[in-house]
Amino acid sequence: MLKAFLFDMDGVLFDSMKNHAEAWYQTMGEHYGFTCDRTLFYLYEGSTGAQTIDTLFVEQRKRHATEEEIERIYSEKSRCFTQLGKADPMPGAAEVLKQVVDKNLARVLVTGSGQTTLIDRLQLTYPDVFSPDRIVWGRDCPIGHGKPHPDPYLMGLRKAGNLLPDEAIVVENAPMGVQAGKAAGIFTVAVNTGPLEPSVLREAGADIVLSGMEELAERMDEIIALHHSSRG
């Protein structure tokens, strides 16, 4: 039986990915001279900031980033992100969350983000939806264990009350997030709220790809039935 929804945050509950991609580009590209474009950061989305920085170091500088570098670069990226202003709530997200609350299903937030500004806003924008003990953050997952690794979503199942994978639905917008949900054995709905082709999310393993949170709100009962039938 379905007992919980596990929600990613950026690109699912907030329309924040544009600003993240811009902040990453300005920091890694313009300031630190890495070769990258904004779309690259939509592909990296879901992994932690530390992992994103380390990946670029390994690929382009042929060594791991030091802890000091990761801290310095990530705080610069965070500063840049904050300067870009507040991200809007994702259209349709409030309606999705209302339906999940009305159905008495548990809600867990599973984010790679360590961005305290957005996490504070979560409670302001969607009050009484996520309790603080039902949040998995980027800092909960060591390097190598962020998305696409299954650990964040496995931790989410534990925080939802030690649920089994087939008792939950993951809602994700990023390829690595979809991979993480599927690696944890959970039915995963992809909402394609960014510039990527829907095929990228299908290839990552999504059980269904929707155009966004508005479509999820419209088709909620159908998706829950699909989850039910997927359990065999």
- Tally of CA atoms within 13 A in the half-sphere of 118 that contains its CB: 32
Contact range with Mg ion by CB under 5 A, out of 4-12, 145-153, 155-163, 182-190: 4-12
- Residue among 125, 67, 117, 102 at smallest CA distance from 221: 102
Asked if 204 is part of the footprint of Mg ion (rule: CB under 5 A), the reply reads no
DSSP lists the bridge partners of residue 10 as 14
Contact range with Mg ion by CB under 5 A, out of 7-15, 134-142, 160-168, 201-209: 7-15
Asked if 10 is part of the footprint of Mg ion (rule: CB under 5 A), the reply reads yes
Q: Report the site for Mg ion in 147-176 (rule: CB under 5 A).
A: 173-174
H or E element, residue 59: helix 49-61
Convert 85-104 to b/e letters by CB count within 10 Å (16 or more is b): eebebbebbbebbebbeeee
- Comparison of 52 and 173: residue with beta carbon closer to Mg ion: 173
Asked if 87 is part of the footprint of Mg ion (rule: CB under 5 A), the reply reads no
**Nearest residue to Mg ion, scored by beta-carbon proximity:** 11
The CB-of-154 to Mg ion minimum distance in angstroms stands at: 18
Under the rule (CB under 5 A), what is the footprint of Mg ion?
8, 10-11, 173-174
